[in-house]
Structure 1
Amino acid sequence: MKPEIRKIVTYDEEVLVEGFRPAEIPWRMFAVAAVITNPWAGRYVEDLKPEIHAYGPILGKMMTDRMITLAGSGDVIEAYGKAAVVGLNGEVEHASGIIHTLRFGNHYRQAVSAKSYLAFTNTRGPANAPIMVPLMDKNDAGRRSHYLTIQFSIPDAPRDDEIVVVLGAATSGRPHHRIGDRYQDLKDLGHDVDNPAAV
């Protein structure tokens, strides 16, 4: 059992000027999207595991390989994330099922030597729906400079019976980051940085 891939789309953005000032180093964000047939489209399926287990490793490896090729190496990637958009003849559960499995995400996580979980969105929409890929620092979930979002769309995808599966990355945070990190807010509010829920 293999995913039926109709097309692969690459998004690549390099920002040279941000906030009315040049970036010292170009701010680069990029993504790889695979447009696949939704194996569950148009019907309710109780057990999604067979397809999830079969598709996850194939998509995870192929898309990770393409991301690393775009980056040049896993070390260059500082922020990362994932997303899926299911077509109108599918459930959000279908989008979620494809990307929320270690069989998919661990390929990417290991290739970039990450410690943080992969930020994500899973949504439903028609062709040309906005694809939003949230990113966060691969090793530090509280590093706000790397709270980013890649946004793009594919004019002919997803069709009603398709899912767009996406990996995204950035090679740095925002060029002129100046809002601080999560840890200072926690200190200012009197919270334990190591246990934010404690007051």
Structure 2
Amino acid sequence: MSLEIRKIVSFEEETLIEGYKKADRPLRMFAVAAVVTNPWAGRFVHDLKPVVREYGPQLGELLTQRICELAGGAENIEAFGKAAVVGLNGEVEHASALIHTLHFGNFYREAVEAKSFLSFTNTRGPANAPISVPMMDKNDGGKRSHYLTLQFNIGDAPAADEIVVVLGGATGGRPHHRIGDRYQELQELGHDVDNPAAV
């Protein structure tokens, strides 16, 4: 079964003022979503891997190209994440399958030269369901300034037999961030910063 994309949706917002104070640098957050036919809708399929290996690279390459263009270049992306929403005739496993694979995510990670894993959500819902894309610093998972969430929706997607597959990005951290990074608290609690599990 070949990949069928009904539409591609781009979303962007730019924050100029936060907390009644002008941002030193405006924060741009953006996402690109592909609305695809769910090849497993309405039935139970045990082995999802053949479709994942076919769809993953196609979606990964397409969405990575689009989001890097939206950012004005991969080098402008500091925080990143991914999401998928499956329609009501599908399983959350179907949403998970298309984004939780290196055949999909590595295109984005390599394009932005990231060290961190892509934070994510995978949910089920009707058309116009909320889409939340959590993000973090592409190179440092403990950098709290870049813990961000982009929210948007698509009025007619996902249909019951569709999946919305999303990549998200941001050009920086939250304006006026001031809660510090997790490393400071690890030190306060007597943990080894290089090995948080050690006391």
Q: Does 1:122 align with 2:126?
A: no
When the two structures are superposed, what TM-score results if normalisation uses the length of structure 1? 0.99
CA distance in 2, matches of 1:158, 1:196: 40
Q: Does 1:12 align with 2:12?
A: yes
Q: What is the aligned partner in structure 1 of residue 154 from structure 2? A: 154
Q: Does 1:96 align with 2:96?
A: yes
Identity rate, percent: 72
The aligned runs of 1:114-193 (5 Å cut-off) are 114-193=114-193
Q: Is the 8 A contact 1:2 1:58 kept in 2?
A: no
Q: Is the 8 A contact 1:31 1:167 kept in 2?
A: yes
CA distance in 2, matches of 1:197, 1:2: 45
State the shift of 1:25 in Å: 1.0
Q: What CA deviation, in whole Å up to 9, does each residue of 1:59-96 have, x standing for no partner?
A: 00000000111111111100000000000000000000
Task: Give the aligned residue type for 1:139.
Answer: N
Q: Is the 8 A contact 1:81 1:168 kept in 2?
A: yes
Task: Give the aligned residue type for 2:17.
Answer: V
CA distance in 2, matches of 1:37, 1:43: 14
Task: Give the aligned residue type for 1:141.
Answer: G
Structure 2: gaps (5+ residues)? none
Consecutive aligned runs of 4 or more in structure 1 exceeding 3 Å deviation: none
State the shift of 1:2 in Å: 2.8
Task: Give the aligned residue type for 2:29.
Answer: M
Q: What is the aligned partner in structure 2 of residue 38 from structure 1? A: 38
Q: What CA deviation, in whole Å up to 9, does each residue of 1:4-59 have, x standing for no partner?
A: 10011100000110111001111100000000000000000000011100000000
The alignment of Structure 1 onto Structure 2 pairs a total of residues equal to 199
Pairwise CA RMSD of aligned residues? 0.6
State the shift of 1:188 in Å: 0.8
Secondary structure of 2:47's match? coil
Task: Give the aligned residue type for 1:58.
Answer: Q
When the two structures are superposed, what TM-score results if normalisation uses the length of structure 2? 0.99
Q: What is the aligned partner in structure 2 of residue 57 from structure 1? A: 57
CA distance in 2, matches of 1:19, 1:172: 17
